[in-house]
Structure 1
Amino acid sequence: MMKDLPLWDGTPYPDFVRTLPEIDIPVEGVRGWLLQGANQQVVFFDLPEGLAIPEHSHGEQWGMVIAGKIDLTIGGETKTYGPGDYYHVPAGTPHAALFLERSAAMDYFADVDRYVPKK
């Protein structure tokens, strides 16, 4: 569980991840650090307990839960994911999430412009 980790602010991410640019995201309590590639992005998310992300879709996404517990609905099917579990969201597939605990997840997006750094 994240609360047992000795790192800053309870996040499992080491300093070199937290020195990446933070994403500009208008969702209270969410933090993310952006690793930008030529045609894709990786975001290291820190997500609060109780956060519900409504159904939406975008380009292809692959992710892994690092800490916490998430109910993720992909294409109408809901599963619970915990540390070490990974998921795949095909491009254009509707999906939603409910964070049952404070969670950390790493998501790889095929969209080069899914997130932008904070200014």
Structure 2
Amino acid sequence: MEGLKAYLSQAENHQIVFMEFETDVDLAEHSHASQFGIVLEGKIDLNIDGKKHTFVKGDRYFIPGGTIHSGKIYAGYADVSFFEEPSRYRVSE
């Protein structure tokens, strides 16, 4: 994604990703394995299974595996996310 800086910790069965967003990003509806996140800075709006949630610094969120979700990430947002899958993201050069 444009405006995203991320650091990936890869394991055999999961990934932990530290993400920082310099610009606003609209997230189209999608699903994947479960995701747990901790907001470090800024704000994110997430629509999880049809319900809108707003998370800010210090909040935690959980998206169950296979659940349709979308949202908006605001410039200045940073989080640490745990993805229950080993290949959600890959290192780009």
User: After TM superposition, is the score higher than 0.5?
Assistant: yes
Percent identical among aligned pairs is 37
1:98 aligns with 2:55: no
Gaps in structure 2 of 5+ consecutive residues:
none
- Normalising by structure 1, report the TM-score: 0.74
The one of 2, 7, 27 aligned to 1:53:
27
Structure with more relative contact order (C-alpha pairs < 8 Å, separation 6 or more): 2
- Larger of the two Rg values belongs to structure: 1
Q: CA RMSD, aligned part only?
A: 1.1
- Normalising by structure 2, report the TM-score: 0.93
Q: Which has the larger strand fraction?
A: 2
SS in 2 for 1:113: coil
Gaps in structure 1 of 5+ consecutive residues:
1-26
Q: Which has the larger helix fraction?
A: 1
Residues matched between the structures, number: 93
- 1:47-98 CA distances to partner (integer Å, 9 max, x unpaired)? 1342111110000110011000111111111111001101111110011121
